Chain A
Amino acid sequence: KQEVTQIPAALSVPEGENLVLNCSFTDSAIYNLQWFRQDPGKGLTSLLLIQSSQREQTSGRLNASLDKSSGRSTLYIAASQPGDSATYLCAVKGRGTTDSWGKLQFGAGTQVVVTP
C-alpha cells in the first residue's frame, strides 16, 4: 500500500531564506507526482507536476525534483516571501495493478510560515 510522508510537518523561516520541503513515498510504481499549495479553508492550487520519467520541473522561484528509485521528491522555493505562507502538499498518482492505481495519494502536508 502506498504511503506518502512529508517532513517536516511545520516550518518557519525568515523572509528571503530558501525553503526546502521533502516528500517520500513507498511504492515507486507511479504515473506522476504533483505539488500543491493550500491556503487555510481553501482548495488546492497546483504548483508543479513531475511525470515519472522526469527528474525535475521548474516554474519561476519553484523547483521540484523527483528520484523515483529512492521514493523521494523535494520542492525548493527560492527567496521566500510572506505570501508563500501556506500548507504544501505532495501527491502521487499510482500505476500498475495495485490498490493505488489511478488515485492521487497525498501526504499530510508541511505548514510553512514566512516571517517578514
Chain B
Amino acid sequence: KAGVTQTPRYLIKTRGQQVTLSCSPISGHRSVSWYQQTPGQGLQFLFEYFSETQRNKGNFPGRFSGRQFSNSRSEMNVSTLELGDSALYLCASSFPPGADEQFFGPGTRLTVL
C-alpha cells in the first residue's frame, strides 16, 4: 500500500506570494491533518479534514486555509507569505478520525525569501 504523498517536496517563494501544497492520503484513509514544523516552535497542528469538512483547527491566522476533495486528497493554501512561514509542512492521514494511528508524509519544505 502506498504511503502518504506530498507535492511538491520543495518550494521557494517570496514574501507576499501565495502557495498551495497537496497531500494524498493512504488509500482508504479519510482523515487528513496538516502540521507545521519549525526549529523554534516544533510541530504544531494546523487543521484536520474529514469527509471534505474541517473538523478541527489550530491557532494559526486566517492566511492558512485548507480543503479536502471527495477522493480525500487535501490541499493547504497560505496567502500573503511571510518570512516566518518558512517551515516543513507535514500532512498525516488516518482511517477514521479520532483515536487512531496517524501516518505522515515526507513533507513539503517551504522557503520564503
Contact = CB atoms under 8 A, between A and B. Distances in A.
Interface of A: 31-32, 34, 36, 41-46, 49, 51-52, 89, 91, 93, 95, 101-109
Tell which of A41, A43, A107, A108 has the most Cβ of chain B within 10 Å.
A43
Contacts, number: 57
Interface stretch (B61-69, B71-79, B103-111): B103-111
7 contacts: A43-B4, A43-B107, A46-B104, A95-B99, A102-B48, A103-B48, A108-B42
Interface of B: 4, 6, 33, 35, 42-43, 45, 48, 55-56, 58, 88, 90, 92, 97-107, 109
A45 to B, nearest CB: 7
B102 A104 contact: yes
Chain A interface helix/strand/loop/mixed = strand
Given A44-B104, A102-B48, A32 B42 contact: no
